[in-house]
A and B are shown apart, each in its own frame.
Chain A
């Protein structure tokens, strides 16, 4: 009896521990030790007597189905594209360009290395000569890998990318075929990577499509940046994708997979890209991005900003419906813009059926001018009808944009702007910046600039860390990718740099006029610039761009003029979670090496009109996160959800190195002991109106003065 009890207990523990004990998990052993990626096949093997292997390597991908509807345009009914979904694979496969090729003998030993060319032809390493194999009667295995290390142009820029299966085994996808040689004649083979699981379980077409998107992006950049050095792209770039797998699980291994949103993301610390292949094996209704070209290039855009500029985004949720942190708005908009711009300029290499389908649908402007993400797909052969998606047309005006078609925000406009009531709010809206950049740099029909678009290379220079191409060369003018100069970035800074390039550092100010006229009207995306005098009203600055440095101290008045802040009620779209960063906050960059001896900052507020407001002074560290003066009383759950209503909260946090958040009617707020801070770091002074749960008159207007411990003005 005693023995029976013991064994029952023992086996109970054994079963209980089954999920934990390595002894029970032999199926996981192969993933437990990191394996190295198979070395690149980049050697030419010479044989005394040779024949050749010829042929092609191509891949299938899913195309898009168009959802159209008639819309009145100037009183005339026209067909408009309202949404897209992922559909059947393209009829004709696309070439696998410049991918690595390896040939193996029957002992699995590499006997030759090669590459595909621009048309997907299998070639030698120089991409033009024939791929030689020893002249003997035998079977050879030819593999084409989802990896390329290919030099572009003459500037030394390379596409050095691998699309891998997972982070443990580091295996690269490949397609293969047997070439049977008689030892005399050349052999021909054709390799295909498929898009349907009924054709190939792993849908390798997905891996090669990702590779194609990255190649086309790098190729475009190299070809459209003139003499600018783009070798910043050269370091090896690893991309991870697996059919049916949600890579967010890597980041949250303890979370139940069911609860995680299927998503792609870029890990900027390790410079690795993770593209989702679905979730728990599903990719027919779950989000999967292997054929989502826009999303894939968007994520590549983050990598490009990271390696050729500086990716300083705080991350976090962005839903394209409200004003957000300008750093996040900029970085997402750059990635959005790059995706749309690459697709607009390469649509025939990405989806050659798109233009034909648009024409067949009766749509006049057949260009790709869209932000688009598919979720699931529909397939007429597999009888699957789960395709969904969301998109907006980047040509549309900011005051009348498209609206969300699916998900929790259905019906809400994609960052609708009101340039009259809220000039400059576009700098805090991801979709507005995206639309503005796209419309300024592409002649794409009604809505876009009609002539002389701003060149991609101008945008590139303003984004990257290189000197601006102005003549005469001004050494202090560098792109905002130079971290040391631009710790606190936004699209306002970006467009000011673009303007400097366009006007040759203000030598020809009139050159900016056509662009200024384009971004300022009410139909624009409210991307007004401070240097255009848009915020100067009766000698007073009603807005100072995010991150403007405070640079001088004077006993007299600031040359810039009076500074005003116009607080407004928190954005009604997200009331309860956000303080309005455009209207209720001003942000100044501080460099103690410039403002030597600065120990105290005093800011005095004087009411001119409207509602009584309490103000705060906050000094942020470089890597700060911004919390919008609301908190969840019960704490957010693992999904970031608050189960009760958010409450007003005037807290300090670890990113606030100094603050004065005292409540009450206090005219002058002060932060002290600044000389104790590390002068090698940059800081951000946030002058914030405390607006949580407060209704504020739209006439509210305060003047403020920033002074040091001696009573001198500190000026931008």
Chain B
């Protein structure tokens, strides 16, 4: 392999590794049991209770007329054998076509993740729309909670710009 090509590959590798290290360090830094900033925040949600892990996925479709499946993987770090209640939240322009918008689950096992699905229209890259999901339960004085959101065109959001701008700044 020519030296020039080796340099290109190793440069690309270095960037990937460097970004990986930066991301890891930031995550490690924020993994603390204390307020992360001396600022006030005003919220109906206590961060300590957002313990239900949610991972949302959606079909990538190009037009609002196409049907898109939106799903959420629900998992818990420990088993919770009491009822939990969930609700899908549909943003402007998104219409529920299939599946219940809200419901109740008997519990969540920590060994098995659950998947819930709905089918919607209006959730496409044509214009950024969102679907949210919220779930909570209560047992023995402990409330558990989880919420998430998925955007149909995340790259058009300002969160994406901030993430990338800060990533580039950190690498410079």
Residues of A within 8 A of B (CB): 6, 9-10, 13-14, 16-17, 19-22, 25, 27-28, 31-32, 166, 168, 242, 244-246, 248-255, 257-259, 261, 263-269, 279-282, 284-287, 295, 298-299, 302, 313-317, 319, 331-332, 335, 373, 375, 382, 384, 386, 390, 404, 406-409, 572-573, 575, 577, 625, 627, 631-632, 635-644
Contacts and interface: CB of A to CB of B under 8 A. Distances in A.
A295 B168 contact: no
Contacts of B157: 244-245, 257, 280-281
A28 B159 contact: no
22 contacts: A9-B9, A14-B12, A20-B19, A25-B164, A249-B162, A261-B45, A261-B47, A263-B42, A266-B40, A268-B39, A280-B149, A287-B43, A302-B39, A316-B35, A317-B35, A319-B46, A637-B31, A638-B31, A639-B47, A639-B50, A640-B47, A644-B77
B61 interface: no
A17 B8 CA distance: 12
Interface string B114-153: 0000000000000011101000100001011100111100
B92 A382 contact: yes
Given A282-B130, A408-B49, A32 B169 contact: yes
Nearest to A166: B158
Contact of A282 (B9, B132, B167, B172): B132
B45 to A, nearest CB: 5
B44 interface: yes
B135 to A, nearest CB: 10
Interface in B32-82: 32-51, 54, 56, 77-78
Contact of A316 (B34, B90, B150, B172): B34
A242 B34 CA distance: 28
Q: Enumerate the 5 nearest inter-chain pairs by beta-carbon distance, A residue then B residue, closest first.
A: A643-B77, A253-B166, A13-B12, A257-B159, A407-B44
B83 interface: no
Interface in B1-39: 1, 5, 8-9, 12-13, 15-16, 19, 23, 26-27, 30-39
Nearest to B8: A10
Contacts of B48: 317, 577, 639-642
B105 interface: no
B130 A313 contact: no
A252 B32 contact: no
Given A19-B164, A287-B43, A251 B172 contact: no
A280 B150 CA distance: 8
Nearest to A653: B34
Nearest to A5: B1
Given A250-B162, A295-B42, 13 more contacts: A10-B5, A32-B165, A32-B169, A253-B166, A258-B56, A266-B39, A268-B39, A286-B130, A286-B149, A625-B35, A638-B30, A640-B33, A643-B78
A244 B158 contact: yes
A281 B128 contact: yes
Given A244-B157, A257-B157, A261-B45, A251 B163 contact: no
Contacts of A267: 37, 39
A140 B5 CA distance: 58
Contact of B149 (A258, A335, A641): A258
Contacts of B19: 19-20
A543 to B, nearest CB: 27
A19 B167 contact: yes
Contacts of B36: 251-252
A407 B45 contact: yes
A31 B148 CA distance: 27
B156 interface: yes
B171 interface: yes
A248 B56 CA distance: 20
A14 B150 CA distance: 27
A631 B33 CA distance: 8
Contact of B163 (A17, A257, A386, A640): A257
Q: Is the interface of B mostly helix, strand, loop or mixed?
A: mixed
B5 A6 contact: yes
A265 B36 CA distance: 12
Given A263-B42, A282-B130, A639-B47, A575 B141 contact: yes
Interface string B77-114: 11000000000011110000000000000000000000
Nearest to B12: A13
B171 to A, nearest CB: 7
Contacts of B45: 261, 407-408
Contacts of B32: 636
Contacts of B9: 9-10, 13
A572 B77 contact: no
Given A251-B36, A639-B50, A25 B168 contact: yes
B138 to A, nearest CB: 8
A409 B143 contact: yes
A10 B1 CA distance: 12
A575 B141 CA distance: 9
A263 B148 CA distance: 14
A315 B39 contact: yes
A285 B40 contact: no
A17 B15 contact: yes
Contacts of A382: 92
A16 B92 contact: no
Contacts of B90: 285
Contacts of B34: 316, 625, 627
